[in-house]
Structure 1
């Protein structure tokens, strides 16, 4: 009987030690403990060493670090009726552990589902060109909407980043043709603008040269210098316009196309 009593005492001591040690919990710096007292919310404890009374109090750990969540690829139709697949990444953290545990059953799953539906809804209101080019604006809109929707869950959405926008092969070829046509249009506009500026400069140069006849002669000599430096077999000498006018004046009445007339000859009467 004495041995059985000793075993019973030893068992009681072991149970007390186990019960005593289970009362102490250690929470890391980024963790908080939501304490429930007989099923009702009591307080938030942590970090560090905390005391939880067994069978009376229960604790739920909550991580306060920023969580990186991948949003799966979503099929959506843009406003200009183009089917695309878009995936993104979501960054959020728990600000209020009490709301995150009490107001929502599983805040991780709820945030993921909300991000998927919000991304389909928001991107579906924009055209394909906006989805491809205005990603910063779309990311800001998604972050703002998700942050407002998860505020009652004690969650702060810090950022949303669209990663990939997948298109069909036919749409990729259409975009390539559109880009090629746009480059061709820009090239034509640039060429036309250059022709316009060149014509204005030539007009101004003609005015300056017309004011000083000596300038035309200097230009003629410069042209001869440039021609003489060429090693080609054919050399073209530009003829000054003044030389043609002088030759025409020297020809006088003997220029081709004019008939000699005797002033003493009688005039034909019709």
Structure 2
């Protein structure tokens, strides 16, 4: 075999090797023929014509992107620091390559501005208590804007809402005042219910004088029993209106 033939065979083998591409299951190849987009291929074994075609790999797996801490001023003029995490993936490799230069950087910048914009429209209490709703609002906005890039934003999670020390102390005082208010309301409701029950009991006793006498004697028994073993003198008045019904009952029996 002459040297010329050897060089030719080697060149052919090199061209064939460069033409054969293998893409993993989670990868797609965006093909450009003479600079023009001609389709998306993969996964598996594909052929790329040397010198005429060029392939760009695109990862189709879910990407976890950490949104840097953002300074946010809430609607009630409270300054907080908020960070989040965004889950997204490429659903159209062609759009992700043709419509935006770097889809990861573009999505990151859009997530930062959207995070500040959405949280700035809510009060601090909403940021602390309604995170699920805020996450859904941010996710919907991001997904709508990135759809033209072939990007699907599947989830957004706000991780931390950091406050300064003065605001933390103010929230603690507010929580303490709220607990005190609830305790007073519960105590007042208990007093109201007790008063209603006592009123009902008094009406029932007023209808039956004998029941009033029995209650009077029971109270006397409780007082004397509770003071046993102590050097004390108890003077317990006996109203005449309690004795009269009893005497009348005895006279009628005779």
Settle same-fold status: TM greater than 0.5: yes
Residue 173 of structure 1 corresponds to which residue in structure 2? 169
Q: Using the alignment, how far apart are the partners of 1:120 and 1:8 within structure 2?
A: 67
Q: Using the alignment, how far apart are the partners of 1:95 and 1:236 within structure 2?
A: 91
Q: Using the alignment, how far apart are the partners of 2:194 and 2:74 within structure 1?
A: 45
Gaps of 5+ in 1: 247-270
Root-mean-square deviation (Å) = 1.9
Against the structure 1 CA distance between its residues 209 and 26, is the aligned structure 2 distance closer, same or farther, given a 3 Å change threshold? same
Q: Using the alignment, how far apart are the partners of 2:21 and 2:235 within structure 1?
A: 103
Name the stretch that deviates more: 18-27 or 189-198: 18-27
Residue 132 of structure 2 corresponds to which residue in structure 1? 136
Residue 64 of structure 2 corresponds to which residue in structure 1? 68
1:55 matched to 2:65? The reply is no
1:241 matched to 2:239? The reply is yes
Q: Using the alignment, how far apart are the partners of 1:71 and 1:238 within structure 2?
A: 79
Contact 1:227/1:235 (<8 A) preserved: no
Contact 1:224/1:237 (<8 A) preserved: no
| Secondary structure at 1:126 match in 2 | coil
Q: 2:21 aligns with which of 7, 25, 32?
A: 25
Q: 1:81 aligns with which of 77, 80, 83?
A: 77
State the shift of 1:239 in Å.
Answer: 4.0
Instruction: Trace 1:123-202 onto structure 2 (pairs within 5 A).
Output: 123-202=119-198
Contact 1:220/1:238 (<8 A) preserved: no
Q: TM-score, normalised by structure 1?
A: 0.84
4+ aligned runs moved over 6 Å, structure 1: 243-246
State the shift of 1:128 in Å.
Answer: 1.0
State the shift of 1:10 in Å.
Answer: 2.3
Q: Could you say which structure has the larger radius of gyration? A: 1
Q: Using the alignment, how far apart are the partners of 1:181 and 1:139 within structure 2?
A: 30
Aligned residue pairs: how many?
Answer: 242
State the shift of 1:211 in Å.
Answer: 1.0
Q: 2:106 aligns with which of 107, 110, 129?
A: 110
Against the structure 1 CA distance between its residues 129 and 235, is the aligned structure 2 distance closer, same or farther, given a 3 Å change threshold? farther
Against the structure 1 CA distance between its residues 67 and 176, is the aligned structure 2 distance closer, same or farther, given a 3 Å change threshold? same
| Secondary structure at 2:101 match in 1 | coil
Residue 46 of structure 1 corresponds to which residue in structure 2? 42
Q: Using the alignment, how far apart are the partners of 1:13 and 1:236 within structure 2?
A: 126
| Secondary structure at 2:2 match in 1 | helix
Q: Using the alignment, how far apart are the partners of 1:107 and 1:168 within structure 2?
A: 35
Contact 2:80/2:162 (<8 A) preserved: yes
Gaps of 5+ in 2: 245-254
State the shift of 1:109 in Å.
Answer: 0.2
The CA deviation string for residues 123-148 of structure 1, in whole angstroms up to 9 with x for no partner, is 11111111111111111110111111
State the shift of 1:36 in Å.
Answer: 0.8
State the shift of 1:22 in Å.
Answer: 1.9
The CA deviation string for residues 138-181 of structure 1, in whole angstroms up to 9 with x for no partner, is 11110111111111111111111100000000000001001111
| Secondary structure at 1:145 match in 2 | helix
